[in-house]
A and B are shown apart, each in its own frame.
Chain A
Amino acid sequence: EDQVTQSPEALRLQEGESSSLNCSYTVSGLRGLFWYRQDPGKGPEFLFTLYSAGEEKEKERLKATLTKKESFLHITAPKPEDSATYLCAVPGGTSYGKLTFGQGTILTVHP
């Protein structure tokens, strides 16, 4: 069964303090890995898709990287508006389109 584990569960940073979030996965035949951002009371917002080990994607202060066993979401010089829950997910190897999500990392950036 596909498994996705995110760490840490919660992360508190000072504004400008860079850090990384981790997403470890176990899936038969990786078809991609997705990162989402979820603000309180809202639906997950798509950020990145990574398809193969070594791939990197960037958006503003966020950079996502992928290895054969895990993905990292690097946050450079975060701002308070980056505070949110960050979710990673992998599509199932056997069930067409099924996403297995991690439990998320709650990021809080203090000014």
Chain B
Amino acid sequence: DTAVSQTPKYLVTQMGNDKSIKCEQNLGHDTMYWYKQDSKKFLKIMFSYNNKELIINETVPNRFSPKSPDKAHLNLHINSLELGDSAVYFCASSLTDRGIYEQYFGPGTRLTVT
């Protein structure tokens, strides 16, 4: 199936730990994104990569570090996890070289920090 996939779907960890979330898309898109959805269901962009180049870097603690090994993959590494990092993290992708911006989302990773 063509889609945006994320692993893991659930992540439960303790404060202070370091964790990573992986994202892959097989839609042939050139841009990938990380969004955070808080407890009030509000979606907010964190990062965006276009052809492996960081193009959007919102006001996010530097404990969060995205990495894009290639156009089809975008990972999110989080250091020294805090309680406030608990949220659902969504990966998305889009084809932007033609000025088309609609983004397709993955199933999300629910991160719980205890």
Contacts and interface: CB of A to CB of B under 8 A. Distances in A.
B102 A97 contact: no
Contacts of A44: 43, 90, 105
Contact of B107 (A31, A43, A46, A49): A43
B48 interface: yes
Interface residues of B, number: 27
Given A96-B50, A97-B31, A97-B50, A31 B105 contact: no
A97 B55 contact: yes
Interface in A30-74: 31-32, 34, 36, 38, 41-46, 49
B48 A97 contact: yes
Contact of B56 (A36, A46, A85, A97): A97
B41 A85 contact: yes
Nearest to A48: B102
B106 A96 contact: no
Interface of B: 4, 31, 33, 40-45, 48, 50, 55-56, 90, 92, 94, 96, 99-108
A34 B102 CA distance: 7
B44 A98 contact: no
Contacts of B101: 31-32, 34, 49, 91, 97, 99
A87 interface: yes
Nearest to B48: A97
Range for the number of chain A residues in contact with chain B: 20 to 34
Contacts of B105: 36, 43-46
Q: By CB atoms of chain A within 10 A, which of B43, B44, B105 has the most?
A: B43
A54 to B, nearest CB: 19
Nearest to B96: A97
